Structure 1
Amino acid sequence: MISVLIASMGRPFLLSTLESIAKARVPKGETVEVIVADDTRDGAVVRLIAGWNTGLPICVLPVGAGNVSHARNACLDAAAGDWLIFVDDDETVEPDWLEGHLSAARDFAADAVFGPVFPRYPKGTPAWFVAADPLFQDWKWDEDGRQHPNGRTGNTLIRRSALGDLRFDPAFGRTGGEDHDFFLRFAAEGRRMVVTNRARAYEEIPPERATTAYALRRAVRGGQIYAETRLRGSGSGAVIAFTLDALVKVAVGAGLWLAIRLVDRPRAFRYAKRSATNIGKLKGVIGSRPMAAWG
C-alpha cells in the first residue's frame, strides 16, 4: 500500500491536490490511501471535502494543534502503507507521480526519494521574477539517484520500514523547518536519501508570495533554520567559523547584487537571495528564531 500524507490548514486548493492524486496511475500490485491531517481548529478540511468524491479512500484526521509537526506526526501514526508520500495542499502532481517515486526508490535502494516542486507563478508576475525563479529549490534533479544530505516534505517518499520511531519535532511546528530537521536525523541513522526527476509536482504560488519581499523573508527563515540545526551541539570554534563564513557570503552576495542589478536583474536577485540566506544564518547564530510560518 501507498499512503499519501497531507498536512492541511484547509486551503481550498486542497481539492485540486486531491484531484491530481486521483488521476495518478497506481503501480501494479499497489493500493493507495490518502490521509489528510486537518490542523484547523474549526474542521475546515472536513467542510471543504464534504460530499466530494475522487474515488480514493480519504481519511481526515482532526488535529487542530496549529503545529505542522503534530499534523505530520498524526499522518505517520495513522498510515498503513509500506510507502509514505508527503505532498502539500498547494501542490498538484503528474499522472506518473506514484510510478516515478516507487521506481526511483527501488532502482536506487533509497529510503527517501525527493522529487522537484516547480512553482507556478500567478498571472501578472514580472517576467524578471519568473526568470529568477526564487521559490524553486534547485537540487540538480536531473542527476537521477544522486544522494542528497538533507530534505523536505513537499514531494517526498519514505520507505516505511526505514522510519522506525522517528517523528517531526514540535519545536519547529510553527516556524517551519521541521522537515529539514527530520531528514537530518533520518540521514544520521544511516538512511539513503536520493533525488529524482521522475516524480514531479507543481506548487501554486499566490500573488502575495510572488514578491521580492516574501522571497527574501523565506530565504532569511531558511538561513535561521539551517543555523539552528547545523550548530546544534557545536563548540565555540565551529560557531566562530560558521559566523565568519556567513559574513563573507553576505558581503559577496550583496556586492554581486549591486554590481549586476542593472544589467541582469534575475541573476542579481539570486545573489540577493543568497545574501539574505546568510543574514538568516547570522540571526540563527545569536539565537533568533524564525517568525511563524504555519497557522
Structure 2
Amino acid sequence: MSQPTRGSGSPGRAPLTLTVAVTTYRRPRDLEELLPSLVDHLREVGDHFRVPVCGGIVVVDNDPERSAQDVVTAVAARHLGTTGVGLRYEAEPEPGIAAARNRALVSAEDSRVLVFIDDDERPEPGWLVRLLETWESSRAAAVAGPVLPHYLRQPHPWVLAGDFYVTRRLRTGADISVAGAGNLLLDLAAVRRRGVRFDDAVGLAGGEDSLFTTRLTRAGAPMVWCAEARVVERVPPERTTLPWVLRRTWSDGNVESRTALRLAPGAGGRLVQRLHGVTRGSVRVTAGLLRAVLGAALLSRRHQARGTRTLLRGAGMVAGALGLTHQHYARPASSPGPRVRIGRVREKGTP
C-alpha cells in the first residue's frame, strides 16, 4: 500500500489532518464504549500509513444540558496523555441532527478529512484504514461504508422477514449518488469548493444526510462505496418492534420525496417533483398492497412483510410530495428525548 496522498499528489510523508466526528444526544454509555475504540483506530491509521496524524476526535453534543461533557472529559483524561490523540467536546444546543453535523464541519475546519460515525455504532477492525485507502485510491470527495445491525433483542418476525435493516451490497469503488452519514468520509477540500452544508430546514425531520450527499454528487463531487469499512449499529429493543419499524419505513419514503423537492429548481420543478412523488408513491402503495394480500393468501410472512414495507414507503413518498413530514428530532424542553410530530414543511423557495 502506498502512502496516503490526501487526494492532492503531495509527498507521502506529509501529515494527515483527520477529524472523526461523533454526533450524540443523551447516550453517555454509548460514548463510553465508542470513544476508546476510535482512539485505537486513529492510532492504527498512523501506524499503517506511517505518517503523523493531526486532528483527532470531536464529540458534538446536541443536548442543551451537555450530558456528554463529563464522559468526553473522562475519556480524554485516560487516553490523551498516552496516545496523543486529541479529543474535543463541542456543544450544539440547536435541536436537530443537521445543526450537530454542521457544528462538526466547523470544528474540523483545519482538517483535510472528516469522518462521521454515530454514537450507537461500533467500527469493525480496520474500519478507518479501509475508508482512507479507498479515498486515496479513488480520489473521491466522499466515501461511504455499510452499517450492519446488531440486535440487542430478537426483532419482531416481520422485521427479519421484511429485510427492514438489510443494507445495500456494493463492490468497493462503486460510484454512489446518495448515502447516510453514519459511516461517511468527507474530503473537506472538495466539500468546501462546492459550498455544501447540511440543511437546517430538515434538521428536525431527518434526511439531512441524504440531501447533503445528493447535493454534493450533483455538484460534480464523486462519491464511492467501501465494502470493507464496516460499522455495526446497536439496535435497541424499542427499534425492533413492528410499530417503530413501520413508522421508520414511512419516514424513509417521506425523506426520498422531500429530498427531491428541495433539489428541484424553481416552482415549476417543484410541481413536477410533487406530481412525480405522488405518482411513484401511489404505484408503490398499490404494488405493496397487492403483495401483502398475496402473502396473506399464501400464508407467506415474507410477502406480507415486504408488501407492507413497499406500501408504507410509497405512502411516505406521497406524503412527502404533498409537504407532510415526520418531525423525528423535534422535542419539547421538558422531554427526556425526541418525539415525533406530523406537520408541513416548506420547500426551498416556497412561501
Task: Return the TM-score normalized by structure 2.
Answer: 0.78
Structure 1 gap ranges (5+): none
> How much does 1:13 deviate?
0.9
Count residues with an aligned counterpart. Answer: 293
| 1:244-282 per-position Cα deviation (integer Å, ceiling 9, x unaligned) | 222111110121122125544245323321221110011
CA-CA distance at 1:47 after TM superposition: 2.1
1:158 match: 186
On the 8 A contact 1:169/1:182 being kept in 2, the answer is yes
Q: Which of residues 140, 148, 172 in structure 2 aligns to 1:118? A: 148
> Per-residue deviation at 1:235?
5.1
Retained in 2: the 8 A contact 1:215–1:273?
no
> Which residue among 220, 227, 239 is the counterpart of 2:274?
239
The amino acid across from 1:81 in the alignment is S
Q: Quick one: distance in 1 between partners of 2:293 and 2:37?
A: 42
Structure 1 residue aligned with 2:295:
260
Which amino acid is the alignment partner of residue 51 of structure 1?
Answer: A
Q: How far does residue 148 in structure 1 lie from its aligned partner after superposition?
A: 0.9
3-state SS, counterpart of residue 157 of structure 1? strand
Q: Residue in 2 aligned with 1:83?
A: 113
Match of 2:342 in 1: none
Report the CA distance shift for 1:126/1:286 in structure 2 as closer, same or farther (over 3 A).
closer
Q: How does 1:34-183 map to 2 (within 5 A)?
A: 34-52=57-75, 53-54=78-79, 55=83, 56-79=85-108, 80-126=110-156, 129-130=159-160, 132-138=162-168, 140-141=169-170, 143-164=171-192, 165-183=195-213
Contact kept? 2:295, 2:302, Cα under 8 Å? no
Deviation of 1:196 (Å): 1.5
Q: Partner of 1:23 in structure 2?
A: 40
1:223 has 2:239 as partner: no
Match of 2:346 in 1: none
Determine helix, strand or coil for the equivalent of 1:289. Answer: strand
Give yes or no for contact 1:2–1:30 (8 Å, CA) kept in 2. Answer: no
SS of 1:92 mapped into structure 2: strand
- Matched residues in 2 for 1:273 and 1:128: separation? 10
Report the Cα distance in structure 2 between the residues aligned to 1:257 and 1:4, rounded to whole angstroms: 43
User: Which AA in structure 2 matches 1:145?
Assistant: G
Tell me, yes or no, if the aligned pair for 1:3 and 1:85 is still in contact at 8 Å.
Answer: yes
The answer to whether the 8 Å contact 1:86/1:156 transfers is yes
Change in 2 beyond 3 A, CA 1:269/1:47: same
Helix, strand or coil at the partner of 2:74: coil
Q: Report the equivalent of 1:251.
A: 286
Q: Which entry has the higher C-alpha Rg, 1 or 2? A: 2
Question: SS state of the match for residue 213, structure 1?
Answer: helix
Which secondary structure does the structure 1 equivalent of 2:257 belong to? helix
* Distance in 1 between residues matched to 2:205 and 2:270, nearest whole Å: 25
Give how far 1:239 is off.
Answer: 3.2
Q: Structure 2: how far apart are the matches of 1:162 and 1:283? A: 34
Which of 15, 19, 25 is the equivalent residue of 1:9? 25
The Cα of 1:236 is off from its aligned counterpart by: 3.7
Separation (CA, whole Å) in 2 of partners of 1:99 and 1:30? 14
Equivalent positions of 1:282-293 (< 5 A) are: 282-293=318-329
Task: Give the aligned residue type for 1:3.
Answer: T
- What is aligned with 2:317? 281
Q: TM-score scaled by structure 1?
A: 0.92
How far apart are the structure 1 equivalents of 2:152 and 2:301?
19
1:21 partner amino acid: L
Structure with higher RCO (Cα < 8 A, 6+ apart): 1
Shift in Å, 1:217: 0.9
Secondary structure in structure 2 of the residue aligned to 1:44: coil
User: Match of 2:24, as an amino acid?
Assistant: S
Identity of matched residues, %:
26
Deviation at 1:198, TM superposition (A): 1.6
What letter is aligned with 1:150?
A: V
Residues 127 and 247 from structure 1, CA distance in 2 versus in 1: closer, same or farther, beyond 3 angstroms?
A: closer
SS of corresponding position for 1:37: strand
